[in-house]
């Protein structure tokens, strides 16, 4: 059994931006609030953090800033994956040196890869890392599906310790759990599947919802771990309308609007992402009012 980086809710944190660049004042406040509210980890510069449109310099600065601001209060997991394995290796080495506790490695996008290519690419990155690595499967974005047998093969690597599963395919995730046992930790990458994945041995969630409800997302997992499955499931169902609203447009479009409504930066995204459609935003904000978030 490998060391578990965290149990519960890791926030896939947004990167507050303005036309001039990263809004570090808002970012720092958001990080502090996340930890005060009980987030179990911070995942920085991933999909929700708009890592794909941060410049290389910004990406590194955001990771370094997050590590320093968190100051060992919770684990920091840095998004360092790429469709260019050599670049992912370079960014992973940087994040290791910067003090991140683990790396999040997305499957290659656009150029994609065979399953053998995935094994070779992830192995090369993990070989270069001095910290644990999370595989990240999100085929709806990458066009590349990380299959259970491939995860099982990679789980033998001493630094590949976890997988963030955002395929949405529960049957595939169950197969991964069956093949890997305790060789790899599984985290939900979809907020609407937290409890289903915990039920087959998952360790938690890397969450978008946790940006605006860190306490509640962490509590949902805690209740499950403490044996209150019914209470945890009730929370999953209660928050489903809000979760759906956070994903009614491409992530992180809705959660950027939600964070801005709570005072954490501007509702600003970089193209090709654009601000939320007004009719969708109205629904999201009403659901947030019902949860007393704004």
In the annotation, is 65 catalytic?
no
The answer to whether 55 touches 18, Cβ cutoff 8 Å, is: no
Does residue 2 contact residue 161 with C-beta atoms inside 8 Å?
yes
Helix then strand count (H, E) for the chain reads 13, 10
CA–CA distance, 77 with 95 (Å, rounded to integer): 9
User: Which entry of 131, 136, 203, 256 is annotated as an active-site residue?
Assistant: 136
Active site residue 136: yes
The single residue of 164, 203, 222, 256 carrying the catalytic annotation is: 164
Cα(107)–Cα(144) distance, integer angstroms: 7
Rounded Cα distance, 132 and 160, in Å: 6
> φ, ψ for residue 8 (rounded to 5)?
115, -135
Pair 288, 282: CB distance under 8 Å: no
What contacts 175, CB < 8 A, 6 or more positions away? 148
What residues are annotated to the active site?
136, 164
């Amino acid at each position: 059994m490998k060391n578990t980086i965290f149990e519960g809710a890791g926030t896939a944190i947004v990167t507050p931006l303005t036309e001039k660049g990263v809004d570090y004042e808002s970012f720092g406040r958001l990080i502090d609030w996340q930890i005060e509210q009980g987030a179990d980890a911070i995942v920085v510069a991933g999909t929700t953090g708009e890592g794909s449109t941060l410049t290389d310099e910004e990406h590194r600065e955001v990771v370094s800033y997050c590590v320093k601001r968190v100051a060992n209060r919770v684990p920091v997991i840095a998004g360092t994956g790429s469709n260019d394995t050599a670049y992912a290796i370079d960014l992973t080495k940087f994040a290791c040196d910067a003090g991140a506790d683990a790396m999040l490695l997305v499957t290659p996008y656009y150029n994609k890869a065979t399953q053998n290519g995935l094994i070779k690419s992830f192995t090369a990155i993990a070989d270069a890392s001095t910290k644990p690595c999370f595989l990240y499967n999100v085929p709806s974005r990458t066009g590349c599906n990380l299959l259970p047998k491939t995860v099982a093969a990679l789980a033998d690597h001493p630094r590949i310790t976890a997988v963030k599963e955002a395929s949405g395919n529960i049957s595939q995730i169950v197969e991964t759990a069956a093949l890997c046992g305790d060789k790899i930790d599984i985290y939900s990458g979809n907020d609407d599947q937290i409890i289903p994945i915990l039920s087959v041995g998952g360790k938690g969630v890397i969450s978008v919802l946790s940006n605006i409800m860190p306490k509640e997302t962490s509590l949902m997992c805690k209740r499950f771990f403490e044996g209150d499955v019914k209470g945890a499931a009730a929370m999953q169902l209660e928050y489903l309308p809000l979760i759906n609203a956070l994903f009614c447009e491409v992530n992180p479009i809705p959660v950027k609007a939600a964070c801005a409504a709570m005072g954490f930066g501007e509702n600003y995204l970089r193209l090709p992402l654009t601000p939320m459609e007004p009719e969708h935003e109205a629904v999201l904000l009403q659901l947030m009012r019902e949860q007393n978030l704004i």
